[in-house]
């Protein structure tokens, strides 16, 4: 028994599948483009034109909320600080600040070791964390009363 190939406008059996192969190639190319674009958006780095990732920290008397931050190495962050307490507080993290790339260092004190927050102050610090590690966070005036925390860079 002999089988005949099915012809589609004279293209033969392989000619039927050529348009499907082209469609599959275009679909895979488009899917790859979407995945790469999504990765760039999620990365959020300044190099990719993304907006900084906002991390909110509220200071109340003798407490940071949250008291531990987890940041990703190499991403741009907006550290948004608010002092809701009645006392002056400091966001003191000298080793962390020394390792980070700070976009607006004028927010820090002269030694670049802390951000001083008067009652009612709201400040933003734009930074890219340095090497992965665990960094100390404290209020220099109230650490004795438990106003301590940490910053983990992954």
Same domain, 74 and 102: yes
Domain that holds residue 7: 1-43
pLDDT digits (tens, 9 = 90+) for 12-61: 555 555 555 555 454 444 444 333 333 433 444 444 457 999 999 999 99
pTM of the model: 0.68
Same domain, 27 and 64: no
Same domain, 65 and 131: yes
Instruction: Return the exposure string of 3-28: e unless at least 16 CB atoms fall within 10 Å of the residue's CB, then b.
Output: eeeeeeeeeeeeeeeeeeeeeeeeee
């Amino acid at each position: 028994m002999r089988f005949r190939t099915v012809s589609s406008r004279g293209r033969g059996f392989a000619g039927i599948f050529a348009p499907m192969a082209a469609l599959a190639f275009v679909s895979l190319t488009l899917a790859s483009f979407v995945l790469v674009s999504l990765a760039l958006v999620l990365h959020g780095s300044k190099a990719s034109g993304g907006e900084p990732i906002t991390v909110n920290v509220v200071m109340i008397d003798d407490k940071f909320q949250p008291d531990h931050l987890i940041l990703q190495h190499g991403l741009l962050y907006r550290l948004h600080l608010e002092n809701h307490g009645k006392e002056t507080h400091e966001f003191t993290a000298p080793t962390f600040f020394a390792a980070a790339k700070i976009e607006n260092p004028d927010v820090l004190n002269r030694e670049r070791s802390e951000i001083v927050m008067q009652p009612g102050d709201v400040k933003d610090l734009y930074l890219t964390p340095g090497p992965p590690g665990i960094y100390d966070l404290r209020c220099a005036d109230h650490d004795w009363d438990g106003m301590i925390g940490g910053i983990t860079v992954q």
